[in-house]
Amino acid sequence: MWWSGDFQEVHTESVTVEEGQDLSLQCDFTGDHESAFTWSNPRGFVIFLNSDQGLKDQRYKLIHYSKHKLSISLSNVTVQDEGTYTCFYYDVPVKTKKVNVTVLAAPSKPQLEVSDIRTHGKKVKIVLSCLTQGSKPPPQITWLLNNGLEVYGDIKHKFEHDGKKCNTTSTLIVHAYNRDSTASCVIRHETLRGERLTASFQFENFTTTTSSAPTVLEISTTTSEHPQHYMGKYNNKKPLT
């Protein structure tokens, strides 16, 4: 959207890129005189003044410079490059273009951990934990049970030191299970473009001290997004294919 004032004209746009991709920044203005161009990064440092590079970050490249256009690129973008990039064209009035850049980070492949809870030496619960790391924004994690029902576990987000990426864990508590039951952790995120990351656990791989396996898969889940306490019994014994 353009607007005019006594001292400047400003144009603002928003761009979303993923980590590892290239960012293209183009500033194109016309004026009555040949005027200077600058592109600045979100911290206010000049990247280019006309065709002269200010920052010595080798990821910045000059794409095109003319008296009415300054185009540059930034390769191998990271979440630290997120923010507002500003182009000034020093005409009268000064013309400004701001590009609000959002950087997404894809979640890592899920890692499954399995443990049990015992009372008086007898196994009473199995705890399944699914961890994915380095995501921005946080991913969605669900559990797909062997009969096709999809449920939420107890989800916890822990942000990394940069305050941008986060590590997310979902925990599912299993009270009883068939040896041929399966529970799959499912990761969804906008960088996956509708695809899913999955990791599956087959209960037959978990040793048991009982002489015979239960005839049902019984789980409980809690989550801040879905605060209701969920208990279910699932009689379908076919594993996921």
Do 126 and 68 share a structural domain?
Answer: no
Do 116 and 95 share a structural domain?
Answer: no
Give domain status of residue 240, yes or no: no
Of 67, 86, 104, which one is at a domain's C-terminal end? 104
**182-224 confidence digits (pLDDT tens):** 999 999 999 999 999 999 998 887 755 443 444 345 666 543 3
- DSSP annotation of 209 reads S
Pair of tokens at residue 179: 């040896």
| Torsion over CA: 222, 223, 227, 228 (sign) | negative
Average pLDDT in the 102-108 region?
97
Do 91 and 199 share a structural domain?
Answer: no
Domain that holds residue 223: 111-234
Do 115 and 212 share a structural domain?
Answer: yes
| Torsion over CA: 48, 51, 54, 58 (sign) | positive
User: For residue 103, how many other CB atoms are within 10 A of its CB?
Assistant: 21
Q: Is the pLDDT of residue 165 over 50?
A: yes
Of 104, 119, 148, which one is at a domain's C-terminal end? 104
pLDDT of residue 181: 87
Q: Is the pLDDT of residue 41 over 70?
A: yes
Q: Is the pLDDT of residue 228 over 60?
A: no
**45-55 confidence digits (pLDDT tens):** 999 999 999 99
Average pLDDT in the 136-146 region?
94
CATH number of residue 190's parent domain:
2.60.40.10
pLDDT of residue 220: 62
pLDDT of residue 232: 31
Number of domains in the chain: 2
Q: Which percentage of the chain shows pLDDT scores above 70? A: 80
Q: For residues 185 and 195, what is the distance between their CA atoms, to the nearest angstrom? A: 14
Q: For residues 205 and 152, what is the distance between their CA atoms, to the nearest angstrom? A: 23
User: Could you tell me which residues are beta bridge partners of residue 74?
Assistant: 23, 60
Give domain status of residue 30, yes or no: yes
Do 123 and 198 share a structural domain?
Answer: yes
Give domain status of residue 89, yes or no: yes
Q: For residues 62 and 27, what is the distance between their CA atoms, to the nearest angstrom? A: 12
Do 117 and 223 share a structural domain?
Answer: yes
Give domain status of residue 239, yes or no: no
User: Could you tell me which residues are beta bridge partners of residue 235?
Assistant: none
Of 78, 104, 130, which one is at a domain's C-terminal end? 104
Instruction: Give the Å distances, CA to CA, from 196 to 128, 130, 168, 189.
Output: 19, 14, 15, 8
CA 187 to chain centre: 11
Q: What does pLDDT average to over the chain?
A: 83
Do 99 and 131 share a structural domain?
Answer: no
Do 99 and 158 share a structural domain?
Answer: no
pLDDT of residue 30: 80
Give domain status of residue 67, yes or no: yes
